[in-house]
Chain A
Amino acid sequence: MNTATSGLLVEARGLTVRYGAKRAVDDVSFAIPKGRVVGLLGHNGAGKTTLMKALVGLARPEGQLQVLGLDPRRQRVQLLASACYIPDVAILPRWARIEDLITLMSGLHPGFSAERARQLLRRTSVGLSDKVKTLSKGMVVQAHLALVAAIDARLMILDEPTLGLDVLSRKAFYEMLIDEWCDGERSVVISTHQVEEIESLLSDVLMLNEGKLVLSISLQDIDARFVALSHDAAVAEQMAAAHPLLRYRTGPGPGGSAAIFDGPPPAHVQALGQRMRPSLVDLFVALTRKPELDRTQF
């Protein structure tokens, strides 16, 4: 296995990360080619952060893992020359001015371009002489992205980057990411549980449930593999008999019910409903389960 020759930026096989007896990431296998926007989806505690930490050498995994052709544990310094990471607990020092951070990054990271950072910051309302402590949360996250995107890297890993931001800040963040980072060569992995608003940005999805990878698919293949049918409540029993992954209400009145199938249901079932685009949120609900729900059931 060598990601350098296969064109894959990440290749994981049978990856497991244990914290004591608990398997935070449990026998996960996937690959990330270049030029992709990968959504790492899962509820809190599903293993998203642990998996991301493993990708940048901050967790000790079992199984096989190559990132940019390197072993993240043993070749971490080399890896971080071409991969960048914003953890979910990322903070910028409150006392620093943005231009101080640019100077700091220039000294710390050989692949960092101060000129590129200034160019990216011009997109935002963050000024070079602004102190971090005077910035809103949305502006800090934008500044952080600008600093990290100014690294000449091939892989960016973002753990819950937009958590706690208002809608305009989230939009500005994603705009910068799509516009300035995604060039068809570089890839980015973004973890979130705000599935709805990130769906259209993604090229691929990795869905984790209690450490297990329950879905690894391109968005294009979702439309081919899953079939969503909207239907009248009157045919609900026939729908249920065909064993859909999920049934739910979409609204009041006729046609207000829907069902999602993994693979096409029999023709007589398909004829009972109207085919829809299966949404990622519905798949997320169908394939993952909140631990709290389990507890209330038993």
Chain B
Amino acid sequence: MQTWDQSQPIYQQLADLLAAQLLDGDPPEGQAMPSVRVLAGQYLLNPLTVNRALQVLGDEGLLESRRGVGLYVMAGARERLKAAERRRFLEDEWPRLRERLRRLDIGAEQLHWGDAR
């Protein structure tokens, strides 16, 4: 079963999970989001929790409501998500990672940066 940690409210954890999927193009822009019922069944969540998570994504400009048909992924959602993720990486994760690399004496040449491509 899906496990939820204690770092944040469950609706926020679901919103993060769905945002990560949107970043991978699932579902693609312009396509419908799965319904509240489907998501609730899939993640074994109360529908109210799913609603709150979708609300968060809507507030972030990632989803739009089309009257009577449901929620759709907005055009430009992936770009916006990617920009936010890059900012978070560069401002938050990278300084800590760089510090650790320095402490371990790992230089750029040891990271085989080109190989993973």
Contacts and interface: CB of A to CB of B under 8 A. Distances in A.
A3 B7 CA distance: 39
B15 to A, nearest CB: 14
B1 interface: yes
A276 B4 CA distance: 12
29 contacts: A37-B46, A171-B1, A171-B44, A178-B37, A178-B40, A178-B41, A178-B45, A178-B47, A179-B40, A182-B47, A184-B47, A197-B1, A200-B10, A200-B43, A200-B44, A200-B45, A200-B46, A200-B49, A201-B44, A201-B45, A219-B49, A220-B48, A276-B6, A277-B5, A277-B6, A277-B8, A277-B9, A277-B10, A279-B6
A278 B8 CA distance: 9
> Which of B4, B10, B44, B49 counts the most chain A CB atoms within 10 A?
B44
A202 B46 contact: yes
A167 interface: yes
Interface in A230-259: none
Size band of the interface chain B makes with A:
20 to 34
Nearest to A278: B6
A170 B48 CA distance: 21
Tell me the interface secondary structure of chain A in the complex: helix
Interface in A208-230: 219-220, 223, 228
A75 to B, nearest CB: 30
Interface in A14-43: 37
Interface residues of A, number: 24
A182 B49 CA distance: 13
A246 to B, nearest CB: 14
A93 B37 CA distance: 33
Interface string B58-99: 000000000000000000000000000000000000000000
Nearest to B2: A200
Interface string A265-282: 000000000001111000
A35 B92 CA distance: 41
- Closest 4 interchain pairs by CB? A179-B41, A276-B6, A277-B6, A178-B40
- Which of A171, A219, A277 gathers the greatest number of chain B CB atoms within 10 Å? A277
Contacts of A199: 4
Contacts of A174: 44
A228 B37 contact: no
A2 interface: no
Contacts, number: 55
B60 to A, nearest CB: 20
B46 A203 contact: yes
Contacts of B9: 223, 277
Contacts of A170: 1
Contacts of A220: 48
Contact of A175 (B5, B10, B41): B41
Nearest to B36: A184
Given A197-B1, A203-B48, A220-B48, A228 B41 contact: no
A64 B21 CA distance: 50
B44 A178 contact: yes
Given A182-B40, A228-B6, A277-B10, 5 more contacts: A179-B37, A182-B47, A200-B43, A201-B46, A219-B49
Contacts of A182: 37, 40, 46-47
Interface in A98-145: none
Contacts of A276: 6-7
Contacts of B5: 277
A228 B48 CA distance: 23
A167 B46 contact: no
Nearest to B4: A200
A228 B6 CA distance: 9
Given A167-B1, A200-B49, A175 B44 contact: yes
A202 B38 CA distance: 16
